Amino acid sequence: MNDKIEEFSKLKNIKAPEPSKNRRAASLEAAMLAFDSDAQKTVQKENLKNSQGNSILHRLISITNKKRIWTMNKWIMDYKFPLGFAAIALVASPIVWQFSSNIPLDSKKGRAIHDQEMWGGGNPNENPILKNEIVAPAEIKKDMIGEVASDASQTPRAKTEPMQENRLVRMAPNNSQGIAMQNITMSDSVIVSPEVAQPHKTAPYIPLEQSGDKFNEFENSPLFNTSQNPVSTFSIDVDTASYSYVRRQLEDGYLPQKNAVRVEEMINYFSYDYEAPKNSDVPFSQSVEVYPTPWNEATKLLHIGIKGFTPELSERKPSNLVLLIDSSGSMESPDKLPLLKRSFSLLLDQLDENDTISIVAYAGSAGVVLEPTKANEKRKILKALEQISAGGSTAGGHGIELAYDLAIEAKSDGSNNRVILATDGDFNVGISSPEKLKTFIEGKRDDGISLSVLGFGQGNYNDALMQTLAQNGNGNAYYIDNFLEAKKVLVEEVNGTLTTIAKDVKIQIEFNPTTVAEYRLVGYETRSLKREDFNNDKIDAGEIGAGHTVTAIYEITPVGSSAISSDPLRYENEEKIQEFSGNEGEYAYLKLRYKLPDENISKLIELPVPVSMAKDNIDEVSAEFRFGAAVAAFGQKLRGDTYVDNMSYAQIKTLGQGARGEDEFGYRAEFLSLVDLAKSLSGETAKD
């Protein structure tokens, strides 16, 4: 016994070698992270129940907590562990850090997908934009925290659900909440209280995640005084990218940023059962209704619906398609290139031996993957698709040039000739200037080659560029957020996607100042045209595909309404009033211009909008118009438009629910669920 005591005394007097300054700092930080304080016990116990779903760092903490070797008492009582654990931590932490920071995660499970470009080349010390389940590292500098963002597209977004108390999170650069954090030192971990994570009740917010997605900024359509500005002119738009992007954001638990919401694309995502044209002589029909505004009883909605002609399948023109596929490193995520390949496999099933497919891939350098091939050679085409892998930088401009060369080579008279660009929108090499790309694509459009764009993924999704390309390429822009959306675009609506029945379609409406005091167009902010552009056939406008429906809604304020926002002019021109007095029976006069696909001279359609057609009760209006009004209200509310402040998400759902109709594919039911999600994320209560 005495020998053991003497041996223990000798061991006790042995001094451990002094660690280096860097190793001491690393050990201290590891110990601080492991400290089992009272404030962290609740969180750790909760994590133990679900450790399988946590990050690797949390799993290690959970395991060691079970063994009781992370408590401060154990460090004091057993001198063998401090140096041993510090050595293990120094060796293992870089491995754990590197491993945990590069795991691709499926966004449909509530987590966005990491890729190297979000990390500044994969080095977290250079760009520490990380998810909020991992502890903030010491490398985050003070000047990267607490900075109020000036651009919505670069603003970190706040989590919608309350966080667990004192949960350790990683803070992204710029702080959308404007929280003062000047006292945080470089070695501090950041603790966010539950209050920080709560969204503002009345406005969209940005979750704690660096978006990186790019959208054009635009303001809501203004309210016009009819006596001063009686004419409104715009280009139609059948793009749907905004709706599917907004859906993804809501399903991931975030309210979308304002500029991601284009109300007309929300409305036109849905097909409406408007009266169809009887034949192809006039490629579309028009339906007009006037009815009470759901969000303002003192105004009315003037609702214009256009229905495109749907040719028989046997009458479909052959298609010469060039698939231009982004294979850059940013496309590696499961929701990008892998989803893209599966999406194009759906398209092949809709084509036959009369159609041709070519494939161009672009990354560090552009290249032809498949020369023009008959679409019924599916095995050959699918094999070529499968060979494409992600890697390298993005040479989008060079790829576009090569794709158009193939399109011209395969072009034939009487065919649909189209390039389909599939990308996350990250063009950074080649013709990278939007203006130069626009000019290039406009030239090819005049040669009879159209361009459609399919957007994938998030994190560096460049919606602004993709809109520019599609609008100037006589095509459409879609956003493929999941396989079901690919099925909608490339199967259910493939005729509209590939076959254009009318191009350069413009709408001009002249309001009668004796019946309409004020008006505003709902959406179409990025599609407005000058009054003189309507008759100018050189001005490009939107296209209508086979079977497409297009909806435009004006909110009008009748003369004498309590909703009129401006006082009448004291010195208003009396002669002008007399000039319109003979048309008191009309709200407006509607004109549409369009060109047939192979023609360059426009045709004109005109029709009056009589006051007598107005409905006194919205329930008298068909379900198609009422559902469109519900989507219009939803889009405006997501944008924070003050015009719909008096309409709650619950009321929007009620309006949409009563107008759901047959809903063959379930898209309207899905819309109702999105309204519910937005209601929850906004903090709206039953009283609201």
| Cβ proximity of 122 and 103 under 8 Å | no
| Cβ proximity of 557 and 516 under 8 Å | yes
Plot region of 174 (φ>0 → left; ψ -120 to 50 → alpha; else → beta): left
- The answer on 324 and 193 residing in a single domain is no
How many other β-carbons are positioned within 10 Å of the β-carbon of residue 228?
A: 10
Say if residue 55's pLDDT is above 60. Answer: no
Top-confidence residue, 277 or 92: 277
Q: Flag whether 217 is in a domain.
A: no
Residue 365 confidence class, pLDDT cut points 50, 70, 90: low
517: nearest Cα among 277, 227, 312, 205: 227
268-288 mean pLDDT:
90
Q: Flag whether 581 is in a domain.
A: no
Say if residue 614's pLDDT is above 70. Answer: yes
Per-residue model confidence (pLDDT) at position 570:
63
Per-residue model confidence (pLDDT) at position 149:
34
Plot region of 307 (φ>0 → left; ψ -120 to 50 → alpha; else → beta): beta
Phi, psi of 98 (to 5 degrees): -65, -40
Lowest mean pLDDT among 42-46, 300-304, 595-599, 636-640: 42-46
- The answer on 426 and 330 residing in a single domain is yes
- Residues in contact with 671: Cβ distance below 8 Å, sequence separation at least 6, in sequence order: 270, 630, 631, 634, 656
DSSP state of 173: S
464-519: pLDDT as tens digits: 888 888 888 888 899 999 999 999 999 999 888 888 889 999 999 999 999 999 99
Phi, psi of 298 (to 5 degrees): -90, 0
112-130: pLDDT as tens digits: 333 333 333 333 333 333 3
Q: Flag whether 494 is in a domain.
A: no
Residue 579 confidence class, pLDDT cut points 50, 70, 90: low
- The answer on 668 and 523 residing in a single domain is yes
What's the one-letter identity of residue 169? V
- The answer on 126 and 266 residing in a single domain is no
| Cβ proximity of 298 and 563 under 8 Å | yes
Per-residue model confidence (pLDDT) at position 42:
41
- The answer on 559 and 661 residing in a single domain is yes
Q: Flag whether 84 is in a domain.
A: yes
Phi, psi of 666 (to 5 degrees): 80, 10
- The answer on 276 and 358 residing in a single domain is no
Six-digit token string for 573:
């021109």
- The answer on 321 and 304 residing in a single domain is no
634-657 mean pLDDT:
96
Q: How many residues does the chain have?
A: 688
- The answer on 292 and 160 residing in a single domain is no
Say if residue 169's pLDDT is above 70. Answer: no
149-160 mean pLDDT:
35
- The answer on 246 and 166 residing in a single domain is no
**Domain region containing 393:** 317-469
Phi, psi of 664 (to 5 degrees): -55, -40
* Cα 221 from Cα 107, distance rounded (Å): 33
Last residue of a domain, one of 180, 212, 244: 212
Per the prediction, the chain carries an average pLDDT of: 74
Lowest mean pLDDT among 317-331, 333-347, 464-478, 480-494: 464-478
Q: How many domains does the chain have?
A: 4
**The pTM of the whole model exceeds 0.85:** no
* Residue 319 DSSP SS3: strand
CATH at 523: 2.60.40.1230
Per-residue model confidence (pLDDT) at position 605:
95
Q: Flag whether 575 is in a domain.
A: no
544-561 mean pLDDT:
93
Last residue of a domain, one of 212, 240, 258: 212
- The answer on 393 and 513 residing in a single domain is no
- The answer on 192 and 288 residing in a single domain is no
Greatest Cα pair distance, the chain, in angstroms, is 120
- The answer on 140 and 34 residing in a single domain is no
* Cα 324 from Cα 540, distance rounded (Å): 24
Per-residue model confidence (pLDDT) at position 406:
92
CATH at 327: 3.40.50.410
Q: Flag whether 138 is in a domain.
A: yes
Q: Flag whether 366 is in a domain.
A: yes
Q: Flag whether 345 is in a domain.
A: yes
* Cα 671 from Cα 677, distance rounded (Å): 10
208-242: pLDDT as tens digits: 344 688 898 999 999 999 999 999 999 998 899 99
Per-residue model confidence (pLDDT) at position 5:
58
* Cα 517 from Cα 501, distance rounded (Å): 36
How many Cα atoms are found within 13 Å in the side-chain-facing hemisphere of 390?
19
How many other β-carbons are positioned within 10 Å of the β-carbon of residue 109?
A: 8
Last residue of a domain, one of 35, 70, 100: 100
* Cα 417 from Cα 448, distance rounded (Å): 7
Per-residue model confidence (pLDDT) at position 29:
47
* Residue 498 DSSP SS3: helix
